[in-house]
Amino acid sequence: VVVWGVAEFDVSDVQMGRRCTVKMRGKLVLIRLRSAAEIATENAVPLAHLRDQETDEERVVNPEWLVVLGICTHLGCVPINNAGEFHGWFCPCHGSHYDVSGRIRKGPAPLNLVVPPYKFTDAAKILIG
């Protein structure tokens, strides 16, 4: 059992398409404000194309915001923002590509980036944990 603790982050200055990385109890949390086009793209991905089959809808509380842990599910490296063939994250350690839903699309990682428990305490404040 992993205990994440609880921390609140103000994301009101995150701009569209930009990622913000916050640190919580030594773990990186990747937060991204997604455009309508990006949300539509992720929703249009057929489940059959996914190794770890989760819809985008299942991975978000508010579709505009993606919140995932910055820990590659292969061997735990930190994925790079705004990189990779699917415009989400790229893990340079062994070449895993994640999409804008944090889902694994190519490379050795077996699973999608983990979505931690979180909720919005107002439109621009995210309580993680």
Q: What amino acid positions are annotated as catalytic residues?
A: 94
| Separation CA 129–CA 119 (nearest Å) | 9
Whether 29 contacts 69, CB under 8 Å:
yes
CA distance linking residue 44 with residue 58, whole number of Å: 14
Taking the least distance from each CB to ligand FES, the nearer of 96 and 101 is 96
Closer CB to ligand FES, residue 100 or residue 126?
100
Supply the minimum distance, in Å, between the C-beta of residue 79 and ligand FES: 7
Point out which residues bind ligand FES (CB under 6 A).
72, 74-77, 91, 93-96, 107-109
- Closest approach of Cβ 68 to ligand FES, in Å? 14
Instruction: Tell me the CA distances in angstroms from 51 to 21, 36, 55, 75, 80, one per residue in order.
Output: 25, 24, 12, 17, 20
Q: How far apart are CB 124 and ligand FES at their closest, in Å?
A: 31
Question: Between 14 and 115, whose beta carbon lies closer to ligand FES?
Answer: 115
Instruction: Return the H-helix or E-strand segment holding 40.
Output: helix 36-43
